[in-house]
Amino acid sequence: MLYRSLSLVVSVLGGILAGAVFKKVWAVVSGEEEAPEATSPDYSTKEVLIAAAVQGAIFAVVKAAVDRAGAKGIKKITGTDPGR
């Protein structure tokens, strides 16, 4: 129960962190502040798909890192493995 409650909060914070990381990475890589919208006629399909792939990769890595840290923290605090 404790793990699920904390997991929700940590996941939201992880999503915010991932969004901030993506925004910085995109600005460095593309030189633009905002990633292209999928429906924007100002960008090619290739540009939109690259932005989506980069964003997805960053979100996946941050989510895995946050979930892993949360599980290890709960195990350290409670002595039980939340994955079982």
At 1 the pLDDT is 61
| Residue of 58, 57, 83, 60 lying closest to 70 (CA atoms) | 83
At 19 the pLDDT is 93
Write phi, then psi, for 76 (nearest 5 degrees): -65, -40
Instruction: Kindly report the pTM of this predicted structure.
Output: 0.80
At 8 the pLDDT is 84
Specify the amino acid at residue 76: K
In whole angstroms, give the CA distance from residue 75 to residue 69: 10
Domain ranges of the chain: 43-78
At 77 the pLDDT is 86
Q: What is the pLDDT along the chain (84 residues), one digit of tens a residue?
A: 667 777 888 888 889 999 999 999 999 999 998 999 999 999 999 999 999 999 999 999 998 998 888 888 888 888 888 766
How large is the C-alpha radius of gyration of the chain? 17
3-state per-residue secondary structure call for 14-77: HHHHHHHHHHHHHHHHHCCCCCCCCCCCCCCHHHHHHHHHHHHHHHHHHHHHHHHHHHHHHHHH
